[in-house]
Structure formats: C-alpha cells, structure tokens
Amino acid sequence: MESLDKTEWDVIISGTGLPQSLLALSLSRSDLNILHVDHNGYYGGNEAAFALGEAEDWAQKNSGDTQSTFSHAEIVKPSDDSSAKEQLAQSRAYSLALAPQLVYTRSSLLPALVSSRTHEQLEFQAVGSWFTVSLPSDASDSQGTMPPFARVPSGREDIFSDDTLDLRAKRSLTKFLRFVSTYDTEEQQEQWERINGKPAVQSLREDFGLKAEAAIAPLLALALTSSPPDATTMAEVVPKIARHIRSTGLFGPGFSAVVPKWGGLSEVAQVACRAGAVGGGVYVLGKGVTGVAQKDDRSSEVELSDGEKVSGKWLVGCPDDLPSTLRPQASSDASEKTTRIICVISSPLAKLFPATSEAGVTPAGAVVVATSGDPKEPPVHIIAHSSDSGECPQGQCVLYASTASSAGFEHLDAAIGSLLRSFDEVTVPKVLWSLRFQQALPLFPSETSNEQQQNVIELRPLPTDVALPESVLEDVKRAWNKIKGDTEDEFMKFPPREGEEEEL
C-alpha cells in the first residue's frame, strides 16, 4: 500500500470494534473521505472472534496484570486427559467470540441493519430457552425450594404447568408479568412510581406476593442483571423483563432474542467494515493512532504508530483506540470489571436447545443463570451456543460464562461444573479447552464529544452486558449527527445501489 503520510481525510476512525464499525457503516454512503485504522492485526477490536490458535496468541498478549481492557488471560487444557485432546478439532473449526451478547428482537440494531441494506450478509439464529442452575450450596432456601436445574417459564402456559410452583405462586407470578407488560403506561404510573426504587426481591415479596425462591429466581434470570440480588432495584429489573416479554414472538414463536452466526458481534462489525470499504473507505490494520494535535483550522494532525502523520476534520474512536491524553479524566480511576471464561464442551448439551415451540425453530443459543444463594453475590451468566452457531464442530458446544463477582474464576468454574453435572448423561460432559480472562471497562461520562478538542468524538466501548444495550447505536447516531449534521430520518437509511432491488 502507498504511504498515508501527509494525506487528508474528512473522518479518521480508530479501531474496528462494533461502535466504530457501525459508524463506518452509517457514513458509507456519505461521500466523505474516510480512513479507518486499527492497531490490531484483526477486525473487531474488543468484539473480535478467534480460532483456537488465534485465541492462544491473544491470551499470551493479554496475560499480564495490567490496567488495560483485558488482563489475566490464560488458556487451560486438560493436560492429563488424552481423550479430551483427541476430541478437540483443528484450530479453524472454532470461532470463539469475545462479545457473544444476545440481541433482543426489539433491538434498534436489527432494523438499522435492514435499512442500511447489510442484513442479507448476516445470519441470525434464535436464542431459545432460559434456565437457572444452583450451585451446590444453593440447594434449598428457607422460603421455598429452588431446583438445581430448571427451565424458566416463558409464558402463562409454562407457569401453570410448572410443578415447582404452588397455585398461589403461579397466580402471583402471572399478576407480576401482567404488570410488567404495562408498567410504563398511565394506568400503572402510580404503582410504578411507588415501587421502582425498592429492592427487587423485597418488592416481589411484598407487592406481588412472591414468597418462594423458585418464583423469584426465574424473574431475576430474565432481567439478566449483573448486580447481586440485594443490590438490584425494580427500576433495573422491570424494564429488562418487559424488553424480554415484548420481544418474544416478534420473529417466531417461543423466542425473544437472536445471536449472529459465526462469531457473535464480531460478524456484525466485519460486515459493517465491508460496507465502509465498498463506500470508498480506506482500511489499514496493524496501524493505530498514537498522537493528536489540533491545527489552526480546528482539524487534527494525527500521528500513526509507524510515524506517519495524516490530517482529519474528525477523529473518532473508543478510549482504548485513542491516545491517553484524549481520554476523560473525571472517572479514569473507576472501572466495571467482569471475569469471563470461554469453554469448548465435549457434548452438544442438546437439553439446552429444545425447539422454541411445537412448530418453532431449533435455537442455536440458550441462557443459563447460576446463583450461589448469597444475596450479596452477583450471578453467573452462561450463554450457550450450539454447533449450529458455526463456532464449534458438531457434537460439541461453546459456553460463554461471565460474572461481576470478586470470586472471579472460582465462581465461574463452580457454575460451569454445576451445569455440566446437571445433565442426565452417562458421562459428565468435559471442558476440552478454555480461555479465561478479565475485562475492565472505564466508566466514562455519557457525553461522547471530547471537551479539549471539539473535532474529536469518543464513542463509549461496548458494555459487558449479556444483551446488547440500546446505548451502542445511540452513541453511533450522536457521532453521525455531529459529523453529518443531517436529520435523524436519514441515519442508516440507504436507497438501493444500481442493480439492487428495492425491498417492499
């Protein structure tokens, strides 16, 4: 490639993570001169997907106890189990995602992918059932028995056929779900204002008559909150359960969410980057931004990692992809820490992927929420992907476990072990290979523009939530509005190119 030195650009985007890639997609029909660089040698940034060999290289680079986004990375293999080694396929048979987040069917991302005409390059698969699993110390509760492994009821019919709940609990649960479906209406305003600040467990017991743990745990599981039960309020729980309920059935019976095939959100990022390239954007991997100086015309002189200097009217990136001098200082010492394990499992764990309904699809994803019984201990979330996801060979599956617990890897290992022992298989499924690491996201202000340089726009990094939050696309839209100055009506809405058919 010819040298970039002394070239001028309308927009320089640093990093190919999901937020930056979606911005590149949104600008791909803008006729702007765009340079998109990434200091990594691969696409996806914090949302990348790796084959086994690539994951091992990544783990080695992120193995230290550092202040960077990823740390304490380690590959674990069963060194004394020859059968496990034999079952593990070649490296390229796997595509393991750093960001396996599920996408609710009501997410604004999905219509944006359709209106930007990129959806045909993506394949989404259903996330079917939700489950709860109890760690060994959480076998029972004084206010109700919690089964060691159970499917979360997905509707009224499931609730009344659930033999772990008595009739009173079923009626109370139905009452609560009816409230959730209309909590933000004028009819429910008075009750919602009265309870939204209360601890969730307390409100479920006092305001809705849910006394049994067997009724409360599934609701917290549907909310997908990372906070400990005693630190979770109704203001956090109810909107998230409502999101789940309102998304159910939109694309088909029995499921509320989807996952991109072949490597989680990395696949969305790569498709968005391809659209940026088709629109004329120039892409360079292995070259990041190391310095920025503001010029007299308020554009930026940007120094790249190889010493080349380019100019741009706008510079956009997430904090990790911009020089430290541009990062907000007010909250630089605060961070949100998540511990993660990615496991390749020797069994397909078919019990996790039942058909979504009698005539429904067989899902490629499932969610398991593991609790310890300690109300001060955050839950463990396990996203399971079957081989239909394209992330592992047939006969295996991938588990993505995460927690905000200070117990870290120990807590995750216990949850995964408890889940694997809960299956009625002759041999307990084995972990054939695993990648464990910690992820820390600095807590930045909600405003994305840089105060020191008005032509620098900072996108917040993708949160570590189990489900993709709406804030991601909202940030991209704010950046797009600053650059384009156009109305929101034009955001991510592209007419067909010549030769393409207009969709009805």
pLDDT score at 470: 94
Strand residues in 15-123 grouped as ranges (E): 34-38, 49-50, 70-76, 96-97, 103-104
Name which residue leads in pLDDT, 37 or 296.
37
pLDDT score at 101: 97
Question: Residue 22: pLDDT band by 50, 70, 90 thresholds?
Answer: very high
pLDDT score at 204: 95
Name which residue leads in pLDDT, 504 or 55.
55
Q: What is the per-residue pLDDT across 243-254, written as a single tens digit (0 to 9) for each?
A: 999 999 999 998
Question: Residue 24: pLDDT band by 50, 70, 90 thresholds?
Answer: very high
Angle made by CA atoms 8, 21, 316, in degrees to the nearest 5: 45
Residues contacting 286, CB < 8 A, separation 6+ = 38, 39, 40, 41
For residue 329, pLDDT over 60 is answered with: no
Q: What is the per-residue pLDDT across 410-437, written as a single tens digit (0 to 9) for each?
A: 999 999 999 999 987 788 899 999 999 9
Question: Residue 359: pLDDT band by 50, 70, 90 thresholds?
Answer: confident
Dihedral angle over CA of 113, 114, 116, 122, nearest 10: 50
d(CA 470, CA 279): 26
Element (H, E) at 242: helix 234-247
Burial zone of 321 (CB within 10 Å; 0-12 exposed, 13-18 middle, 19+ buried) = buried
pLDDT score at 140: 42
For residue 201, pLDDT over 70 is answered with: yes
pLDDT score at 499: 62
pLDDT score at 294: 87
Name which residue leads in pLDDT, 335 or 150.
150
What domains can be seen in the chain, in order of their start residue? 4-55+263-332+444-484 (3.50.50.60), 91-262+335-442 (1.10.405.10)
For residue 484, pLDDT over 60 is answered with: yes
Work out whether the CA dihedral 409, 410, 411, 412 comes out positive or negative. positive
Tokens (6 digits) for 158:
């499931």
pLDDT score at 336: 82
For residue 452, pLDDT over 60 is answered with: no
Q: Helix (H, G, I), strand (E, B), or coil: what is residue 131?
A: strand
pLDDT score at 162: 74
Percent of the chain at pLDDT > 90 equals 71
b/e 289-310 (16+ beta carbons within 10 angstroms → b): beebeeeeeebbebbbeeeeeb
Q: What is the per-residue pLDDT across 265-314, written as a single tens digit (0 to 9) for each?
A: 999 999 999 999 999 999 999 999 999 998 888 889 999 999 999 999 99
- Model pTM? 0.93
pLDDT score at 138: 47
pLDDT score at 372: 83
d(CA 458, CA 166): 52
Yes or no: say if 122 and 272 are a contact pair by the CB < 8 Å rule.
Answer: no
Q: What is the per-residue pLDDT across 120-179, written as a single tens digit (0 to 9) for each?
A: 999 999 999 999 998 876 444 434 445 688 899 876 667 777 777 788 888 888 899 999
Residue type, 116: S
Tell me the average pLDDT of the chain. 89
